[in-house]
């Protein structure tokens, strides 16, 4: 399926990673990072929205630190010098757990969403149109980095709504304990395809994932796939639904 104007996602990028943001950032741009924090190997990771491959001009440094109870540093680096830190003394990530981290560019600030919740806002200190690269370093493993420029949706398609429902049951004699994760429903956002996301809390017996959407009249096939990260899970489950066309 072709999409007009949207940059292709980076899939399974190896950290440390630096990649270009085609056309630079614009008001309304969204960058979504799916990954997991490694259980060990360091205390920090960082996402830098910067100018070029050189890290001397970083418009937005987002830096979770698993130190002193956990906090997140936000800052800007200009011509090699850091500015004043903005610290949020709360840690929305967990070691060993997957996450969805989304940066939304707005005219006056970045909005940072973690697992669907607004975590923080960071007022622009330098013009965001200077940003044309993203770099990610530290104690994370990444599944994808995807880009949604303002006003770009899949060509000739209806919006696709996706809802996640986590159900928690305890069953006698169950092989695996279910993690304590409250049921979560993500409110009807619109996603571009192909769409990648993490499964909060991972898969376990009784977990349900409900994906709802609209099959395009021109579709010949569509499908969904649940995959484990290769190094951690030896299996893949996939489903495919074929539709016939007249």
Convert the chain into a string of H (helix), E (strand) and C (coil): CCCCCCCCCEECCCCCEEEECCCCCCCCCEEEEEEEECCCCCCEEEEEEECCCCCCCEEEEEEEECCCCCEEEEEEEECCEECCCEEECCCCCCCCCEEEEEEEECCCEEEEEECCEEEEEEECCCCHHHCCEEEEEECEEEEEEEEECCCCCCCCCCCCECCCCCCCCCCCCCCCCCCCCCCCCCCCCECCCCCCCCCCCCCCCCCCCCCCCCCCCCCCEEEEEEECCCCCCCCEEEEEEECCCC
Shorter beta-carbon distance to ligand GAL: residue 73 or 219 = 73
Shorter beta-carbon distance to ligand GAL: residue 31 or 72 = 72
Residues 107-146 close enough to bind ligand GAL by CB under 6 A: none
The residue from 5, 11, 67, 85 that contacts ligand GAL (CB under 6 A) is 85
Q: Provide, rounded to whole angstroms, the least separation between the CB of residue 119 and ligand GAL.
A: 17
Shorter beta-carbon distance to ligand GAL: residue 64 or 149 = 64
The residue from 61, 102, 119, 207 that contacts ligand GAL (CB under 6 A) is 61
The residue from 9, 63, 146, 192 that contacts ligand GAL (CB under 6 A) is 63
Q: Does 75 bind ligand GAL (CB under 6 A)?
A: yes
Q: Provide, rounded to whole angstroms, the least separation between the CB of residue 56 and ligand GAL.
A: 13
Q: Does 176 bind ligand GAL (CB under 6 A)?
A: no
Q: Provide, rounded to whole angstroms, the least separation between the CB of residue 228 and ligand GAL.
A: 32
Binding site for ligand GAL (CB under 6 A): 61, 63, 73, 75, 82, 85
């Amino acid at each position: 399926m072709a999409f007009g104007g949207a940059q292709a996602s980076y899939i399974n990028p190896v950290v440390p990673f630096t990649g270009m943001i085609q056309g630079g950032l614009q008001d309304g741009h969204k960058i979504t990072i799916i990954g997991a924090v490694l259980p060990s190997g360091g205390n920090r990771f960082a996402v830098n929205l910067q100018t070029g491959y050189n890290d001397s001009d970083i418009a937005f440094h987002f830096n979770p630190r698993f130190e002193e109870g956990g906090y997140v540093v936000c800052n800007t680096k200009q011509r090699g010098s850091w500015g004043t830190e903005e610290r949020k003394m709360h840690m929305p990530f967990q070691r060993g757990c997957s996450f969805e981290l989304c940066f939304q560019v707005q005219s006056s600030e970045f909005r940072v969403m973690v697992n669907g919740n607004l975590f923080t806002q960071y007022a622009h200190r330098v013009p965001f149109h200077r940003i044309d690269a993203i770099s990610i370093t530290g104690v994370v493993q990444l599944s994808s980095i995807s880009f949604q420029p303002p006003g770009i949706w899949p060509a000739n398609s209806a919006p696709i709504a996706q809802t996640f429902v986590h159900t928690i049951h305890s069953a006698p004699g169950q092989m695996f304990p279910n993690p304590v994760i409250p049921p979560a429903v993500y409110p009807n956002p619109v996603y571009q395809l192909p769409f990648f996301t993490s499964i909060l809390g991972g898969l376990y017996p009784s977990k349900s994932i409900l994906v709802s959407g609209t099959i395009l009249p021109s579709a010949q096939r569509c499908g969904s796939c649940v995959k484990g990260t290769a190094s951690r899970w030896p299996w893949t489950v996939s489903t495919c639904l074929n539709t016939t066309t007249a």
